[in-house]
Amino acid sequence: MTPVVIIDLDDCLIPDGTAARAAIAAVLDEFSITADEQAVDTVLAAARREWRDNRRVTHREVERVASWEALWADFHDLPMPQEVVQALVGNDVRAWRLALDDLGSTADATTAAQAFRRLRSALVIPFPGVESALDSLGERHELWLATDGCRSLQRTKLLLSGLADRFQRVFVSGEVGHPKGTAGFTDAVRTALADDRTVCFVVGDSVTTDLLLAETGGWPFVRITGEVKFAGAAAFCRCL
Ligand SMILES: [Mg+2]
């Protein structure tokens, strides 16, 4: 039996929420807009408003895309009906227009949206210790990645992180067709295990998705919090 460790991506191996805030602040800086916490909150609220008001965001390809992720996701080539693609493309510029209006700025929203994509991409950097922890776990486990979101953004993040080659299997909810934590997603993982693989444990930061994946699969769970960094996850191995 080959032991497998199933690992989350966002806020487990690479920062997401904090990186989004940092990139927004950097955009505001470039526009000479005061980039304090309140201004960042204003942008995030505008992004949320624009995303939630779009009735196409429930399509299974994008249903687990967060509003701040939608600011730099590429929707063009997702396998969706053309009308859905068209409804989603341009979300970033529309959200930035709302945000800049709320901040009292007449700056160009397209330029802001492009700046965010550039600055956010530059912040896809693994947390300290992640590479060595994956090295250690990877010596005696297969590493599988399980992540919520749309295929284009999640796979881009994985490539930018430099971690893509570490993973033998990658499950993205938009590709699987079911959100992480649902029976459908867990079934897809279980089917891939076939008869010759067994899950040692699941690692993640979320108790609404990662923990549910572990629970529905009947697998041990290691939760990554501020106190438990992913780099320490190897210590939880119980299969060898
Ligand atoms: Mg996460």
- Indicate if 9 and 33 belong to the same structural domain: no
Summarised one tens digit per residue, pLDDT across range 177-186 is 999 999 999 9
- Distance from the CA of 102 to the center of ligand 1, in angstroms? 29
- Indicate if 161 and 102 belong to the same structural domain: no
Roughly how many angstroms between the first and final C-alpha of the chain, as a whole number? 11
Tell me the pTM. 0.95
User: Which of 121, 139, 155 corresponds to the end of one domain?
Assistant: 121
23 against 1, higher pLDDT: 23
Summarised one tens digit per residue, pLDDT across range 137-192 is 999 999 999 999 999 999 999 999 999 999 999 999 999 999 999 999 999 999 99
- Distance from the CA of 10 to the center of ligand 1, in angstroms? 4
- Distance from the CA of 36 to the center of ligand 1, in angstroms? 25
**Count of residues for the chain?**
240
Average pLDDT, the chain: 96
Distances in Å between the Cα of 183 and the Cα atoms of 8, 34, 186, 217 are: 17, 45, 5, 8
User: Which of 73, 99, 121 corresponds to the end of one domain?
Assistant: 121
Q: How far apart are CA 117 and CA 10, in angstroms?
A: 17
- Distance from the CA of 202 to the center of ligand 1, in angstroms? 12
Mean pLDDT (whole number) for 65-80? 97
Please say whether the beta carbons of 83 and 128 come within 8 A: no
- Name the β-bridge partners of 201: 5
- Name the β-bridge partners of 203: 7, 222
Residue 223, phi then psi, degrees to nearest 5: -90, 130
Under DSSP, the state recorded for 138 is: H
Farthest-apart Cα atoms in the chain, separation: 61
User: What does the pLDDT read at residue 238?
Assistant: 81
- Indicate if 139 and 109 belong to the same structural domain: no
User: Which of 106, 121, 136 corresponds to the end of one domain?
Assistant: 121
